[in-house]
Amino acid sequence: DGGITQSPKYLFRKEGQNVTLSCEQNLNHDAMYWYRQDPGQGLRLIYYSQIVNDFQKGDIAEGYSVSREKKESFPLTVTSAQKNPTAFYLCASKGMNQRYTGELFFGEGSRLTVL
């Protein structure tokens, strides 16, 4: 089945450690996004990529890094520089050409807890 797969679903990290969250999609979508969600809040954009080997900072990019070496994959690294990394992280994708309607599709999320 086509979809977006995020892993791991749950992750615990000690302060000072980097951690990488995986996001893979087989929808043939060009654009991919990383969002952060805190309790009782809407989603905030961390990074997005509209094409392979290119990505743009979102509203809260500090302390995060990404890569887009393949169309299907958009991993997010939460670095030790991120002051408050405990959150729910959501990856999304969207088709960009005329075949698509502009809808955003989401993975199941990764819940990161820093101990």
Partner 1 sequence: GIQVEQSPPDLILQEGANSTLRCNFSDSVNNLQWFHQNPWGQLINLFYIPSGTKQNGRLSATTVATERYSLLYISSSQTTDSGVYFCAVGNNRKLIWGLGTSLAVNP
CA distance 53 to 39: 32
Provide the binding-site residues for partner 1, judged by CB under 8 A: 37, 40-45, 48, 50, 58, 88, 90, 92, 96, 101-106, 108-109, 111
Closer to partner 1 by CB, 9 or 70: give it: 9
CA distance 104 to 92: 6
CA distance 22 to 40: 24
